[in-house]
Amino acid sequence: MWPWGHVAVGYLVFLAYGGLTGLDWRENHLLPATVAVLATQVPDVVDKPLAWWFHALPSGRSLGHSLFAVVCVSLAFWYVTRRYDREALAIPFSLGYLSHLFADGYGQLFAGHWRRVSYFFYPFTSAPTYPDSGGFAAHVAGLHLSASMELQLGLDVVAVALFCGIEYRLRRRGVARPWPW
């Protein structure tokens, strides 16, 4: 999945979790939404450079894409935010991070291809190997409109519409501030 697809999925998961649990992030929507969206990029920011450029990891889906890393990084994030009385931001961070793993692996999980999602348990299992991708430039060069790309762009439209709608309603009520932190 492309970064913009992860952003949309992470934001929608963030909203769904808030709706299901009764958390009212609408009063302070911008900061937790930003944290959730930025967290969706963490696995690729860790794995892609370390695998493609530095060859320090076996795959572009390994360490940063593991549940082990989610737990460790989320706990570290919670610890840091707790020191600044912002520990509530740990939930959107963890949701954004976890949504990335699910978005990358949902097709393989539902198809029963367990070996292709072995990165969930890296470093305790080996990461799946992929053909040499040639790095980021090769991925961008191979970009084309496919059913998956259409789905990602559609999710982006929905996420942006929801974000703008929530922010618009908050500003009309005088609740939202441009920079709530």
Record the pTM. 0.89
- CA 174 → CA 68, 162, 177, distances in Å? 41, 18, 8
What is the rounded distance in angstroms from the CA atom of residue 173 to the CA atom of residue 100? 33
Predicted confidence (pLDDT) per residue in 3-47, tens digit: 999 999 999 999 999 888 887 666 678 889 999 999 999 999 999
- Contact status, residue 15 vs residue 162, Cβ threshold 8 Å: yes
Joined tokens for residue 6 = 């992860």
Predicted confidence (pLDDT) per residue in 50-77, tens digit: 998 899 999 999 999 999 999 999 999 9
What is the rounded distance in angstroms from the CA atom of residue 49 to the CA atom of residue 70? 18
**Residues in contact with 143: Cβ distance below 8 Å, sequence separation at least 6, in sequence order:** 2, 149
Q: Which residues of 35-65 are buried (b: 16+ CB within 10 A; e: fewer)?
A: bbbbbbbbbbebbbbbbbeeeebbbbbbbbb
